[in-house]
Each structure stands twice: as structure tokens, then as C-alpha cells.
Amino acid sequence: MSIDPSGALLIQWAGDGHLTTYSPGWLRANCYSSESLAERRQQPVLWDSTLNDKIPEWDYDRVVDDESFRLQMFQHINDYGFAIINGVPTLEDQIERLADIFGFIRQTHYGRVFDLIATPKQRILAQTAHAIRPHNDELFRDPIPGLFMMHCLRASQCGGGASILVDGFNAAEKLRSENSEQFELLCRIPIPHRRFLVDEVDDVALSASWPTIELNRHGEIEAVHINERTMAPLDTEEDLIEPVYQALQRMLVLAYDHEACVTYRLESGQAAVMDNHRVLHARAAFNGNRHIRQCHVDRDEFFSRLRALRRRHDAEV
């Protein structure tokens, strides 16, 4: 073994004499120290309503044409869990072009794209003009959809219909700090979620169970799954029913708190992209002719493209 003038580690192997070179950057990127391991996990930036006055926005044309700018936006989504994009053409199929930047559209029984328009023939709450509380989407699916995208073709003329975002990680950390027992229950007990639409229109009977909070092996929050509208009856031991409901109630209070919410009204030609495993989204009521198109993209492809962008712009990553 030897170190060359650039600081690279050289290892010449016995047998065939093969020479392996490890650059200083590669060695640092794969260091086993606790400090380096923690740094590589890239802790998320927690946020609340104080972010309202400084929500960054991204220009669609630059995202498409400028890789370094796109990398900045992808990194922002990785850190904060969402992004607002301006200047998106108001074409019916534009959300599919937008989704192609992030990954592959996840097709469901709604199709590739779903139109959010208030209609008298309502199948789900999203097709009303009512306010909707913060939630994660489609928790009755396995796997849960990753990125959630909304493209505004037409904002409500009444000025209502603002989008509301909540950092689920921040709400979960608040619960951990104030009541570790309730936090542990929501990490351990799966909560059933269902979507049954079995009739002449649909043949859907979806069911899945997820803990409200998921941790990695270091005890750090990896995902939050909250949607009281799709929750089914609990399926756990009798002595846990009341404690779990109490923990869920406290988690919902934290997630619904006005101080936890970022409010942003999407105008025509704007889009929002959210990590559905972290960011809860909601909506204020409206009475105008609002038209939003939405779709889902799985997270593995998004993070693959983020890592590829990093590698192209930093040879040592």
C-alpha cells in the first residue's frame, strides 16, 4: 500500500499484481466514522408556518434546460419535501411532461392523471369545493405513491382554493419531544387504510396498513403516513386501542395546527411537487371554477435522478 502525490491510496494486490486506486474524495465519501455516516444521511430541514414568507420558487424553463438549476430544485425537494414551479404551460397534457422530469407516472384506477374539478357527481372529497384537512395521499395502496404533483390550469375566480402544506417530519418530532410513549406507539402499530368503491362505476377494494411514523435504524424519521379520512377500524390488541387513538388524536392536532401550515395559492401556470411520504397537503374551500391536474411519480426514480445529477456535477460523489 502507498499514498501517491494527490493523496490517493494505492493498493497492489498479491497474485496478479492488480493495482487499485482510491481517491481521497471516494475515501471520505465512504468513511465509517459516526460523523461521516451522519453527514451522508443528510438530515431534512424541518419547517413550519415561518416558511410562508420565504417559499422558494423555480422557473419551469430553467428546470428543463439547465441541469445545475434542476439539481438545485431536486436537492431542495430532498431537504424540504416540496417545490413550487412557475411558468408551466397551461396545456392539458403538460403535467405528464412535468412528471417526466422527475420519473415515471404511477398509474392507478384514476388513470395516469386525475382532474380535480368540483362536480355534482362526486366520488371522492377531492371532487368537491370543500376545504380538505392535511393528509398524505393514497395510504390504502402498497406501495404508497411517492411524489405527488399538482398543476394548476385554472385558479378559482373567488380567490379561494389555496393549497396548504405541512411538514409531517416536524409534527412527528414535536410528538417525540412531548410524549415519547405516544411517538413509539405510532412507530410500532400499523394503521389500516381502505378505499372501497365497488359498484357499477368502479371495482376498487384497496387495503393496506402502515405505521403513522416510520424510522430508520438510527431512530431518524423516514416517513409519515396520515389520513384520517381513509383510516379503517384499528386491527390491534384491545388494550392498545385507546392509547393508539389518543396518540393519533395528538398527532392530528399537531399536523392541523395553524402554526404548522404553509399556505400557497397556486395560480394558473404553477405546479407543486411534494414528497408524499413526508409532506401533508390540504386545501381551502372555494366557490369558483378551479381546475387542477394531478399525478404521482414513484420516489425511487426521483432519487435515482437526483444521485445521477449529483454525480455528473461532482465527480467525487
Sorted by sequence, the CB contacts under 8 Å of residue 173 that are 6+ apart come out as 46, 221
Q: Are 141 and 263 members of one domain?
A: yes
**Amino acid at position 96, single letter:** E
286 and 212 inside one domain: yes
pLDDT for 127 equals: 75
* CA distance linking residue 224 with residue 43, whole number of Å: 15
pLDDT at 58 over 60: yes
The larger pLDDT score, comparing residue 34 to residue 46, is at 46
91-117 per-position pLDDT tens digit: 999 999 999 999 999 999 889 999 988
Query: Is pLDDT above 70 for 6?
Result: yes
Residue 40, amino acid: R
301 and 181 inside one domain:
yes
pLDDT at 53: 87
Question: Do 98 and 238 fall within a single domain?
Answer: yes
Three-class SS of the chain: CEECCCCCEEEECCCCCCEEEECHHHHHHCCCCHHHHHHHCCCCCCCCHHHHHHCCEEEHHHHHHCHHHHHHHHHHHHHHCEEEEECCCCCCCHHHHHHHHHCCECCECCECCEEECCCCCCCCHHHCCCCEEEECCCCCCCCCCCEEEEEEEECCCCCCCCEEEEEHHHHHHHHHHHCHHHHHHHHHCEEEEEEEEECCCCEEEEEEEEECEEECCCCCEEEECCCCCCECCCCCCHHHHHHHHHHHHHHHHHHHCHHHEEEECCCCCCEEEEECCCEEEEECCCCCCCEEEEEEECHHHHHHHHHHHHHHHCCCC
**CATH assignment at residue 180:** 3.60.130.10
Q: CA angle, 129 as apex, 126 and 134 as ends, to 5°?
A: 55
Domain limits for position 18: 2-40
202 and 256 co-located in one domain: yes
Q: Is the pLDDT of residue 120 over 70?
A: no
Query: Which of 236, 85, 200 is closest to 152 using CA atoms?
Result: 85
The strand pair at 261-264 and 163-167 is best described as antiparallel
Residue 237, C-beta contacts closer than 8 angstroms, at least 6 positions apart: none
Q: Is 27 in the same domain as 134?
A: no
Over residues 17-45, the mean pLDDT reads: 91
244-301 pLDDT, tens digit each: 999 999 999 999 999 999 999 999 999 999 999 999 999 999 988 899 999 999 999 9
The answer to whether residues 160 and 20 belong to one domain is no
Residue 316 has pLDDT above 50, yes or no: no
Match 454525480 to its residue by C-alpha cell: 311
Shared-domain flag, residues 34 and 73: no
| Domain tally, the chain | 2
In this prediction, residue 118 carries a pLDDT of 75
The Cα–Cα gap between 140 and 108 comes to 12
Percent of the chain scored above 90 by pLDDT? 85
Whether 73 and 108 map to the same domain: the answer is yes
Amino acid identity at 309: L
- pTM (2 decimals)? 0.92
The confidence band for 134, taking pLDDT boundaries of 50, 70 and 90, is very high
* Whether residue 130 sits in one domain with residue 18: no
Clarify whether residues 232 and 306 are in a common domain. yes
Are residues 35 and 173 part of one domain? Answer: no
